[in-house]
């Protein structure tokens, strides 16, 4: 039975994404200058293409004079609407914020795109349709040019990888993997991990979780880790309805990291529901915190803003100049610049400003890529939303000197990096409840607007985690790749 929706006008949150010459649900290719959009599964999918090619008018909720018209080319499996980066920025959207409140409606007289000749042998072979001519700056989606933009066009359009969940495993053919070259910054790939191979890099910790958690860490044979149909590594949580301690995963690398290390992890999805405490972090051998800890990804419950941190013993602090110049993060504990975790465990932690760096909005935006470099000059944290990752990251010749300012930097002038961070092991885990997720159960913050006590009706994290296994059926890490570089 055909589903032909009536003309409609919805108020939704729009995310941004990009198809990057990869087939979307409608089977068309596009370039970064195209005004294209993806709609929810109820409007378009690979099995329901009646709305493919229709024109959609998108209006900024806060300013009705700002509108764009885009062509439907894809499904947004986890949201109501996503826009190409060109359309998103034309509405004044910030790629750091990653979200816009908009209204949208189908326009009258929309026609499906004509099929252009493929611009490459590969496109011709798979029968893909092109949205516009990939060799032209002004791409067309029908026999006439794309609709004119009625608002100011911003110039921050970026080349990017695909948003579409169905195609996120495919990178642009213009950025092939290069495992033999050294980047101009001196970084050389030492380990490239994906799929089942990612798990080979780690040892699986077993036993009850720390920090008063409600998780029971189990081995690889428990079936919570696997490669999905796209070849991505999945790290799940047990969803048995009742469990005194719920089975989960904590993996610790067999290799250690020191000065001269760069870690880049491309994450498609992370656990994002009340009760979870997922993290990707590094922890030094020996007694904590004297060999250092670096938190790359951390948050709890339904946070939407990532927390990055460093923890040390005495002798490491933040530069006041660096802290005052931050534009993408804020210091969690501004009363101290000392990173000594024996005095304050929250010291030297930073909340990212963007509300799509973590949690459900991060997942809906197609994920993103996190990077941390450890050098004699300092420790630098970077994050890019899916759709704005530098090309040299995908080509595996990372050049941090060309990435602009880091989101957060721990400078060597106030912290001897080699002395305070040594023999670090990379850890990926999902704790449940515990001192962090449980400690803020009745609080809001970090982009979470409603407490978990209110969301769930449970007064504490432990009872919810142990009694409502169904809540964790879809809570999982999906990691596209993990690359390790040395210098």
DSSP line for 285-298: SSSTTTT-EEEEEE
Cβ-in-10-Å burial (0-12, 13-18, 19+) of 40 comes to: middle
Let me know if the fold of 9-167 is the same as that of 188-486: no
β-bridge pairing 293-298 and 276-284: antiparallel
3-state class (DSSP) for residue 278: strand
Q: Does 221 have pLDDT greater than 80?
A: yes
pLDDT in tens, 375-400: 999 999 999 999 999 999 999 999 99
How does DSSP assign 327-371, residue by residue? SSEEES-TT--B-BTTT-TTTTEEEES-TTSSHHHHHHTT-EEEE
pLDDT tens, residue by residue, 222-245: 999 999 999 999 999 999 999 999
> Residue 428 is encoded by which pair of tokens?
């990926």
Read off the pLDDT of residues 137-193 as tens digits, 9 standing for 90 and up.
333 333 233 333 222 222 222 222 222 333 232 222 223 345 568 999 999 999 999
pLDDT (tens digit per residue) in 422-447: 999 999 999 999 999 999 999 999 99
CB 16 within 8 A of CB 98: yes
206 CB-near residues (< 8 Å, 6+ apart): 217, 218, 219
Domain 188-486 CATH class label: mainly beta
Confidence of residue 70 (pLDDT cuts 50, 70, 90): confident
Output the six-digit token pair for 382.
């970077």
CA gap 172, 470 in Å, rounded? 37
A 10 A CB-CB count for 186 gives: 14
Q: How many residues does the chain have?
A: 487
- Whole-angstrom Cα Rg for the chain: 23
Tell me the pairing of strands 67-76 and 55-60: antiparallel
Tell me the domain boundaries of the chain: 9-167, 188-486
Distance (Å, whole) CA 161 – CA 309: 28
Q: State the pLDDT at residue 107.
A: 81
Output the pLDDT for position 128: 39
Class of domain 9-167: mainly beta
DSSP label at 185? T
Contact, 275 vs 448, CB < 8 A?
no
Bond into 289 cis (ω within 30): yes
> How far lies 465's CA from each of 218, 222, 303, in Å?
16, 19, 17
Give 1's contacts (C-beta < 8 A, 6+ positions apart): none
Reading the block at residue 195, the tokens are 């799929």
Is residue 164 within 8 A of residue 29, CB to CB? The reply is no
- The structure tokens listed for 119 are 């611009």
Least confident range of 11-20, 241-250, 298-307: 11-20
User: What pLDDT is recorded for position 9?
Assistant: 53
Residue appearing with tokens 């610790």:
252
The average pLDDT across 347-368 equals 97
Query: What pLDDT does residue 30 have?
Result: 64
Between CA 131 and CA 123 the distance in angstroms is 12
Beta carbons within 8 Å of 178's beta carbon, 6+ residues apart = 189, 395, 396, 397
* Sign of the dihedral defined by the CA atoms of residues 427, 429, 432, 437, in that order: positive
């Amino acid at each position: 039975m055909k589903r032909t929706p009536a003309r409609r006008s919805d108020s939704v949150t729009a995310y941004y994404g990009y198809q990057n010459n990869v087939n979307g649900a409608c089977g068309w290719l596009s370039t970064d200058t195209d005004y294209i959009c993806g709609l929810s599964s109820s409007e378009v999918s690979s099995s329901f293409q009646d709305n493919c090619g229709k024109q959609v008018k998108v209006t900024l909720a806060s300013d009705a004079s700002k509108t764009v018209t885009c062509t439907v080319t894809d499904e947004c499996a986890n949201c109501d609407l996503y826009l190409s980066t060109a359309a998103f920025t034309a509405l004044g959207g910030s790629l750091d914020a990653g979200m816009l409140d908009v209204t949208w409606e189908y326009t009258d007289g929309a026609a499906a795109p004509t099929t252009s000749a493929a611009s490459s042998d590969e496109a011709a072979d798979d029968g893909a349709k092109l949205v516009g001519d990939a060799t032209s700056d002004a791409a067309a989606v029908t026999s006439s040019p794309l609709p004119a933009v009625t608002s100011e066009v911003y110039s921050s359009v970026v080349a990017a990888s695909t948003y579409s969940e169905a195609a996120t495993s495919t990178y642009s053919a213009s950025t092939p993997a290069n495992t033999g070259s050294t980047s101009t910054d001196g970084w050389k790939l030492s380990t490239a991990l994906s799929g089942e191979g990612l798990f080979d890099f780690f040892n699986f910790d077993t036993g009850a979780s720390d920090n008063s958690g409600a998780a029971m860490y189990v081995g690889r044979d428990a079936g919570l880790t696997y490669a999905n149909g796209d070849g991505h590594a999945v790290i799940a949580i047990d969803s048995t309805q009742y469990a005194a301690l719920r089975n989960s995963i904590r993996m610790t690398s067999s290799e250690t990291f020191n000065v001269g290390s760069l870690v880049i992890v491309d994450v498609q999805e992370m656990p994002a529901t009340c009760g979870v405490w997922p993290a990707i972090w590094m922890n030094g051998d020996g007694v904590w915190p004297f060999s250092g800890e670096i938190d790359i990804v951390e948050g709890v419950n339904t946070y939407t803003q990532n927390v990055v941190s460093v923890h040390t013993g005495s002798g490491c602090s933040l530069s006041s100049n660096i802290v005052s110049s931050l534009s993408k993060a804020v210091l969690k504990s501004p009363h101290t610049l000392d990173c000594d975790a024996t005095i304050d465990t929250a010291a030297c932690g930073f909340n990212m400003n963007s509300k799509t760096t973590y949690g459900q909005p991060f997942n809906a935006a197609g994920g993103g890529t996190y990077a941390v470099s450890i050098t004699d000059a300092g420790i630098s944290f970077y994050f890019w939303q899916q759709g704005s990752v530098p090309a040299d990251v995908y080509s595996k010749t990372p050049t941090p000197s060309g990435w602009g300012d880091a989101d957060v930097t721990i400078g060597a002038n106030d912290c001897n990096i080699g002395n305070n961070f040594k023999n670090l092991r990379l850890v990926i885990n999902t704790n449940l409840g515990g001192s962090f997720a449980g400690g803020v159960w009745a609080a809001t913050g970090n982009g979470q607007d409603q407490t978990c006590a209110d969301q769930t009706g449970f007064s504490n994290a432990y009872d919810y985690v142990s009694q409502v296994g169904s809540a964790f059926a879809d809570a999982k890490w999906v990691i596209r790749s993990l690359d390790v570089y040395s210098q």
